[in-house]
Structure 1
């Protein structure tokens, strides 16, 4: 039974109500509503570090507005959390009491550890990265963690964020060269003090509004050909290039930059200074944006508490795709059996362990699961399968891995493969492209062996003789339809491997 749950996140820059739909049987959730109010609560702290009456009234009005949406969606459960803006307020107890009286929300004031932990939790449950550094930069605090083998090892919370850096160092709308230097001089000792960050040579995974805007700006800047933000990657050099591009333009032009939210235009440059210092100190291999952050971390913990097990990643996302597009499991199971059998024998001939590896087999299996997705889209099923898989977020798969899956699952022939690959041709070497074509051709040929979906083929044996492969295929029923399709589709693998494939179908 589907259940809806709301999470209210009272941050220093923004206040959000996000509504998720949680299907317990699938052990996952999806966002169905996201309402944001740019409140900049950090700017309402007075000289005594107390949140002013004006700031408290803004909070009350926002939460009362959220209550209307909560009633509309008939939410049985709403989790309300507050972070640094309230945590750093001298009158935080009074704020929580007033908010409860005026709105009836019981607000959980997160500790520094909890805020860092939920960010880490969202990353390990939504990416395939086993070792990394997470950064969740808000308006008034920045949480850093280091995890290894998916286990949290270190965490730290800095009492500054993009908005507080702007308020502390920037007099105008955007920082001058001198003010940027002051920000760097302020930040550097703080990060140098965390020796566990030094020279790690691992990915930095960033979440939050500033990181999201950085990724969006770069996507627009390079005319990125795919849709989707989660696990979007940038090199350290690309991060620097975007920063330098932004700091060399006027504030008026900065507000027009594609991918930059207007409310972030005054805080994005301080944020870039912080990102660059972290990446330099840690010697980051790449800068990765995670669309999943604190709110999702709260839900992942809640779901883990219910299930008692870690959540699956790519497999769960692909299973959801199969259910969404009503792809029958028995058909997929037979396809995986045939593809696995063909692959194992072909790999032993071509060079298992030298040419093919475990990742290739995993890609083949995922390709078999998603091979029929296109049938439920446009008339061109190959095109539909490619664009669906290339542009759909699949938890646990990077954008590059997603494209590899799309290319093998949509394989129609080398010409179509090159057409799909053209905008991404620099992503893969010639040898990688050839291997992807071979895996795609194996999938296409294996699919032909169950073209009537009656599980007719029971077994087959491939024997390599010089430049020919003899395939002896054992069938339990009338096999002429499968034989016809096999003979039609074998040309793709023959061209790629420069062999002749000779089939012998037999009725047991």
Structure 2
């Protein structure tokens, strides 16, 4: 795969592009994301599915701009896929041929099952969940991919979309007909004879727009959409109110942005109906979808479209981009495990914190790279946004705070108030703070000394192969949690 790759997704309502840069074998990072609401399917469902001239021209002009961006970023490979609007339109070849002839771009029209599969590939690799069903509401269709234990079992596409429902039913004030149409289509899911998970991973602009509104309503502390989760029972009535909004002023009062006025009522109506009919308990929002799925099926074509076991693309990408010393990173990661394991009888933390301590230890030096002074604060702000894939929001915040408090003193209650609802207890964060601080104190001179840890009652005994005044004095200054004593042998 080329180092810089462009993926373009021509949907019924929006056309989106991502430009991704590969940094090592499986790691990559996003360098551009562009969206254009071309509404290529506008008017087609009222005209026997045929694409109309003005929407096609909007899409053509936007593609020219997309290609300008891609060329400026030195992308060597472009993959362009089109979904419901073009696969359904009898006259789609007019648009496809014009783009190929004038712009030199080949558009690959994918079927609904492949579109659903791409969403499943993206979610199963880039979200920290293993059993769920993706729901991707587009303008012309909605895709479902059923994932169990990280593996895609079934993928299906149904002709339920915001633009389709709007033109066929909502414009005629026929919400009852719209509901019956959706329910009739959903019967195909029950015919799959597959266990339906209780968790939905929501993909697509309509679901993301709804999640943003829920986040604002809840005054959620973290302004990150990917991985945001909420309970269905808490929001169904709210989604119903949005779908019944009388005008744009109503929508605005609910927190809907202007660019979503045209299809949010239909999107909310479709999503609510799906959640109720499939008896879903939880929604997890995905910031990735078809575009990332297309990219990953290419990147991971020799590994069944899955990352290797225990591989985290966000961590690897940051290590690559900041050129963090591999030997120092490996040492700090291994030493973090030793410290955690030695103190386990005292802190009794779940092993997930062991992994988070390792990640925090490896990524700590990013703060110094950004700016040596206040490096912990710099790293905190960056990590909250930098760990963009495969992390629960809670895990992301724990890693950021662990790095922030890798210093002599332990955090207090007031230190963690801002993100308290996403953090574990203060006691846990104090243990994480102490363990990472000890990790860096031991390697204060970057000599990567051999070290052994022994817990004797409530005393942590440290056997250092290369003792120095600098290291010993830094260990002595550390504030310890509870009644722990540290002794250098």
Report the TM-score, using the length of structure 1 for normalisation: 0.85
Are 2:362 and 1:366 aligned?
Answer: no
The 5 Å alignment of 1:25-36 reads: 25=25, 27-36=27-36
Q: SS state of the match for residue 305, structure 1? A: coil
Question: 2:472 aligns to what?
Answer: 483
Are 2:331 and 1:334 aligned?
Answer: yes
Residue of structure 2 aligned with 1:426, choices 421, 424, 441: 421
Residue of structure 1 aligned with 2:394, choices 390, 397, 400: 400
Are 2:177 and 1:160 aligned?
Answer: no
For the residues of structure 2 that align with 1:180 and 1:413, how far apart are their CA atoms? Answer: 62
Change (3 A) 1:51 1:339: closer
Contact 1:239/1:276 (<8 A) preserved: no
Contact 2:135/2:200 (<8 A) preserved: yes
Residue of structure 2 aligned with 1:492, choices 473, 480, 488: 480
The 5 Å alignment of 1:376-415 reads: 376-377=369-370, 379-411=373-405, 412=407
The offset of 1:377, in angstroms, is 4.3
Residue of structure 2 aligned with 1:194, choices 179, 189, 197: 189
For the residues of structure 1 that align with 2:265 and 2:419, how far apart are their CA atoms? Answer: 30
Mind listing any 5+ residue stretches in structure 2 that lack a counterpart?
A: none
The 5 Å alignment of 1:42-121 reads: 42-121=42-121
For the residues of structure 1 that align with 2:66 and 2:378, how far apart are their CA atoms? Answer: 38
For the residues of structure 2 that align with 1:74 and 1:319, how far apart are their CA atoms? Answer: 23
Question: 2:487 aligns to what?
Answer: 503
Contact 2:43/2:52 (<8 A) preserved: no
Contact 1:2/1:24 (<8 A) preserved: no
The offset of 1:422, in angstroms, is 1.1
The offset of 1:54, in angstroms, is 3.9
The offset of 1:248, in angstroms, is 6.5
Residue of structure 1 aligned with 2:443, choices 447, 450, 459: 450
Are 2:211 and 1:215 aligned?
Answer: yes
For the residues of structure 2 that align with 1:362 and 1:267, how far apart are their CA atoms? Answer: 42
The offset of 1:257, in angstroms, is 5.5
Change (3 A) 1:198 1:65: same
The offset of 1:320, in angstroms, is 2.3
Question: 1:346 aligns to what?
Answer: 343
Contact 2:165/2:178 (<8 A) preserved: yes
Change (3 A) 1:225 1:2: farther
The offset of 1:118, in angstroms, is 0.8
The offset of 1:300, in angstroms, is 0.4
Contact 1:456/1:479 (<8 A) preserved: no
The offset of 1:314, in angstroms, is 6.1
Change (3 A) 1:102 1:364: closer
The offset of 1:48, in angstroms, is 3.1
Question: 1:203 aligns to what?
Answer: 199
Change (3 A) 1:70 1:450: closer
For the residues of structure 1 that align with 2:71 and 2:343, how far apart are their CA atoms? Answer: 59
Question: 2:235 aligns to what?
Answer: 239
- Shifted more, 184-193 versus 296-305: the winner is 184-193
Which of the pair has more CA radius of gyration? 1
Offset from partner CA, 1:377-430 (integer Å, 9 cap, x none): 46333333332222333321111111122222322477645344313323456x
For the residues of structure 2 that align with 1:8 and 1:89, how far apart are their CA atoms? Answer: 19
Change (3 A) 1:416 1:462: closer
The 5 Å alignment of 1:142-161 reads: 142-161=142-161
- RMSD (CA atoms): 3.0
Change (3 A) 1:504 1:115: closer
Question: 1:294 aligns to what?
Answer: 290
Change (3 A) 1:446 1:65: closer
Change (3 A) 1:40 1:222: farther
Change (3 A) 1:427 1:156: same
For the residues of structure 2 that align with 1:331 and 1:226, how far apart are their CA atoms? Answer: 31
For the residues of structure 1 that align with 2:304 and 2:200, how far apart are their CA atoms? Answer: 28
Change (3 A) 1:308 1:135: closer
For the residues of structure 1 that align with 2:46 and 2:241, how far apart are their CA atoms? Answer: 35
Offset from partner CA, 1:135-191 (integer Å, 9 cap, x none): 11110011112111222212221112011111122238xx6xxx4444333322332
Report the TM-score, using the length of structure 2 for normalisation: 0.88
Change (3 A) 1:427 1:48: closer
Mind listing any 5+ residue stretches in structure 1 that lack a counterpart?
A: none
